[in-house]
Amino acid sequence: MTVPSGGDDDFPKDPPGEKSASPDLVRVTARACPICGHPVEARYRPFCSKRCADIDLGRWVLGTYRIETNEAPDPDEM
């Protein structure tokens, strides 16, 4: 993933007045929610909504839980 220097991508630049979404034309440059593919909302980046953020978080938590730490206290240590 290449990140261009410059921090002015807080929100997708959409020209006002032009709201004709063509199903054939898929914007590859536009960021899409990794969960559902909807346009990313700046407030819930990198997701489109809190729901998707929760879904991703849930996956993370589940994955984390799978890693069990068998850290038993050392009886030898004193």
Residues binding Zn ion (CB under 5 A): 33, 35-36, 38, 48, 52
Look up residue 32 and give its DSSP letter: B
Question: 58 labelled as ligand-binding?
Answer: no
CB atoms within 10 A of CB 47: 23
- How many Cα neighbours within 13 Å face the side chain of 57? 10
Scanning the structure block, which residue is given the tokens 């536009």?
30
Q: How far is the CB of 39 from Zn ion (least distance, A)?
A: 9
Closer residue to Zn ion (CB): 9 or 38: 38
Question: 9 labelled as ligand-binding?
Answer: no
Could you list the residues known to form a binding site for Zn(2+), using ranges: 33, 36, 48, 52
